[in-house]
Amino acid sequence: MINEKIILGIDPGTTIMGYGLIHVHGKKFELINMGVLHLSKLKSHELKLKKIFDRTLQLIEEYKPDELAVEAPFFGKNVQSMLKLGRAQGVAMSAALHRDIPIFEYSPKKIKMSITGSGNASKEQVASMLKSLMNIKEIPKHLDATDGLAAALCHQLSKGKFIFIKNLFWLEIIYYR
């Protein structure tokens, strides 16, 4: 029996949320979609959280992922920023829980390490490696999209050896005004 599943990866944020979806078929996987959700025009934090929940649920309903991989908030100098990121992560996780989808959390260092071999890689290095590994034609303007994809791929790579296959994809950018 061939293991087949879809993984949704999310890079939570209250200004931009990135996401990526991969389809796993045995030891092969391919890109389904990646994109970003722009939230900067929304005034209240609560409205941003609602949009994150709604978009995550929309992705779940459209692509029917079997698992969610999410980047964990990292501790920075600003405690308020970390609190907001934690809330953004929490509502994305709540959408997955609402549909009984298992959730897996990875630190930014773990995700970078699994994609580039270095836990200190830059967003640009992660995007460049994903472009090469998954035959992405053009790196998106907002690297939050590739960060979401990296979370999904990190989750799958943590399970064993795989083969990358070429696939066409589209990039979605959603703005809320």
Q: Is the dihedral of CA 121, 119, 70, 83 positive or negative?
A: negative
| Active-site annotation holder among 30, 67, 71, 147 | 71
Phi, psi for 70 (deg, rounded to 5): -130, 140
The residue from 11, 30, 67, 147 that is catalytic is: 11
Q: Fill in the amino acid letter for 127.
A: A
- CA 134, 150, 121, 168 dihedral sign is positive
- Tokens matching residue 15: 């200004």
Active-site residue identified among 4, 61, 66, 144: 144
Instruction: Tell me 133's DSSP state.
Output: H
Q: What is the mean pLDDT of the chain?
A: 88
Tens digits of per-residue pLDDT, 78-137? 888 888 889 999 999 999 999 999 999 999 999 999 999 999 999 999 999 999 988 899
Q: Where do the structural domains in the chain lie, given as residue ranges?
A: 4-175
- Model pTM score: 0.89
Q: Is 100 a catalytic residue?
A: no
CATH class of 4-175: alpha beta
103: CB partners within 8 A, 6+ apart: 67, 68, 70, 93, 96, 97
Among residues 150, 129, 169, 164, the alpha carbon closest in space to that of 70 is found at 150
